[in-house]
A and B are shown apart, each in its own frame.
Chain A
Amino acid sequence: MNAEHSELLKEFTAEEVATLDEIIARHKGTPGGLIPVLEEAQVALGYLPASVQKRVAKGLNLPVSRVYGVVTFYSFFTMTPRGRHTIRVCLGTACYVRGGKALAEAIKKEVGISEGETTEDRRFTFESVRCLGACGLGPVVVINDDVHGRMKPSKLTEVLDLYS
């Protein structure tokens, strides 16, 4: 039990672990409580690594395999930490032909990670999407909720500097 606790404390503060335990306690014994627990835990902690899943399994008296199965089934849940800002580059047809691909390459170079990854300082998570319905503005990059249209690799540094 102690080994598991220290595994958790490597990734989260004592307050965060207490929040997790509070979430588990609130849903304990309710049928179908697993998904709400995971959802709240992800909002509170940002992601659901193995240590969190084990804690949830023990708390809800479920096999950890069941928890892992649910976490991997829903794309909303993530087992790796996410950055403070999410960069989404559009690779839909219109953006793609207007330079989306080159833009994606430039972003990778600029932030130093591949698609689906998060920078070590957890500043950025980089993803690609297929069409945001803003084809007229292509190529489009969306950072958090801000749409940046007619993007060029040369404007990238300037735009990314807006997000610290």
Chain B
Amino acid sequence: MALVKLTIDDKQVVVEEGTTILEAAKTIGVKIPSLCACPEINHFPGACRVCMTEVSGQRSLIASCVFPVFEGMIVKTNTERVRMARKMVVELLLANHPAECNYCVRNGSCELQKVAEAVGLKRVRFDIPDFPEKDMIDHSSPSIVRDDRKCINCHRCITVCESVQTVSVLTPSFRGSKVRVVPSFDLPLIESNCIACGQCIMACPVGALYEKDEVEDVWKAIHDPTKHVVVQEAPAIRAALGEEFGLPAGTLVTGKMISALRQLGFDKVFDTNFSADLTIIEEGNELLKRVKEGGKLPMITSCSPGWIKFCEHFYPDLLDHLSTCKSPQQMFGALAKTYYAQTAGIDPKDIVSVSIMPCTAKKFESARPEMNSSGYRDVDIVLTTRELARMIKEAGIDFLNLPEGNYDAPMGEYTGAGTIFGATGGVMEAALRTVYAVVTGENLPSLDITPVRGLEGVKEATVKVGALGEVKVAVAHGLGNARKVMDQIREGKTDYAFIEIMCCPGGCVGGGGEPIPTDNEIRRLRAGALYMDDSQVQNKRQSHENPSITKLYDNFLKEPLGHKSHELLHTHYEQRGEDIPHRA
């Protein structure tokens, strides 16, 4: 590519043609403040005008995030005119934004706060209007709250919803000063095709989109002496929770997380990784059954509730490809109020089952009407990683200095296979380890199945599994990638036996409930922590080797895909279709 020579702040810069002024300035250590742009999702609307610079020969100031450099260009990033304009832009944004910073969910992680500091804003001279809270906050979804008052119209949420997830729920509506980001026809989120993945939350620079906070419900349960409160944590939590307390991304904090949960007052600290191992046993056997008995193939994983809802809306004709296995969260929930209740001699009506998930769609999943096979709601409350962090802070727990805790029996023990569920490709790898062992009676020559790891959108692998011969599998993460695979299935163009699909980019470590910020580098580091847990911390790496799972089958379930499993661990799906109003 051709090179372009230009001058920024009296310094010579040489960059590739097509580079923006903002990127070019970075190469000489000049950080131009910017707000609406989000390179991670290729979103450069040039809308907020915070990143303005002076360019010779240009009458007006130039938004540096979208303006490409040209030969001989002279740019000034730090003139009186530029500094005043940037201040005014941020001042005007704040003049139309509720002054609730102290108790806003994004206090401390808000990009508008940061940019106000970066441009040196000292005052807002305008009266901030009263916003009609009632009309402008949409609480209809069990997962996501949309607070229109705080929206700054950067449209990142629209891009991530449309381009990354291909769900396309959100749109700008009306124009000029009346422009608002809304679901089609300004319907409440619950009546849209929203699949509750929460990627819009991860993209939002401010507090206009956030998870439905259920921390108070958990406190209430913990403080109620008649309730026995049990908790499970998804694999991705231990790889990310530390970030909320200043640890670098990729720090594994399993032991501290357990201690924190105990100190918060949970009666039993169990682990979703346990039921991830259980999922592998059920799902692996389901796959073998489908292969042997000519069932529907390819079979597709069903752990990710955002993916499930996506399939129900956009591929209702392909629902029979989905494994009937419930997600690990829901398997755990069903067992907590049956198996655990029996073992511990506790009336299931007194058990409150809480889960900590990297996910907002899990909140929706737990509220699905069919998820009550224990006779009660299987999972009562779902908190995101962020909500758990807030609870720990609220309780005054010194997270960094906590001792390493251990899980409770009988639903805490897990293998490396369970832990890698949190990264894209992990379920596939875990399933192949066990399927291989069940079919051949031996272990895979290498337990590391590297072709299914990493952040490539759609990954493929072929594994020779004894008498079954070559088994071709695929892994997709992010629904735009899932759509590619699903369209192939619809056209009858695939010969895969098994497909893993995770709703969020990177899998659960990139989930909509994880710490903010999350980008590809952070996703990679979090996944790395899980693979490290699998290969170096856990002494067992295959789900069928988990002694607690063996005990569960011996004493309670009897056999995989048996009567009890069918009743408690498997589910069915709903044909929702596109644009048809529905209620959770």
Contacts and interface: CB of A to CB of B under 8 A. Distances in A.
B175 A73 contact: yes
A69 interface: yes
Nearest to B167: A63
Contact of B174 (A63, A64, A66, A73): A73
A63 B175 contact: no
Given A50-B185, A73-B174, A3 B169 contact: no
Contacts of A73: 172-175
Contacts of B168: 63-66
Contacts of A4: 579-580
Contact of B579 (A54, A66, A69, A72): A54
Contacts of A47: none
A72 to B, nearest CB: 4
Q: Chain A interface mostly helix, strand, loop or mixed?
A: helix
Contact of B171 (A3, A50, A54, A69): A69
B170 interface: yes
A73 B174 CA distance: 4
Contacts of A66: 168, 171
Interface residues of A, number: 16
B580 A64 contact: no
Given A3-B580, A54-B579, A63-B168, A68 B174 contact: no
B174 A65 contact: no
Interface string A45-75: 0000010011001100001111111001100
B140 interface: no
Interface in B143-178: 162, 168-175
B365 to A, nearest CB: 24
A63 B173 contact: no
B173 A64 contact: no
B184 A68 contact: yes
A65 B580 contact: no
B198 interface: no
B183 interface: yes
Contact of B185 (A3, A58, A68): A68
Tell me which of A53, A58, A69 has the highest count of chain B C-beta atoms within 10 A of its own C-beta: A69
A4 to B, nearest CB: 8
A63 B183 CA distance: 11
A13 B170 CA distance: 31
Interface in B174-211: 174-175, 183-185
A66 B173 CA distance: 9
B184 A64 contact: yes
A68 B579 contact: no
A57 B184 CA distance: 11
Contacts of A54: 579
Contact of A68 (B162, B171, B175, B580): B171
A72 B162 contact: no
Nearest to B166: A63
A72 B181 CA distance: 12
12 contacts: A4-B580, A50-B185, A53-B184, A54-B579, A63-B171, A64-B184, A65-B162, A65-B168, A68-B184, A68-B185, A72-B173, A72-B175
Interface of A: 3-4, 50, 53-54, 57-58, 63-69, 72-73
Given A66-B171, A72-B174, 8 more contacts: A50-B185, A53-B184, A63-B171, A65-B168, A65-B184, A67-B184, A68-B173, A73-B172
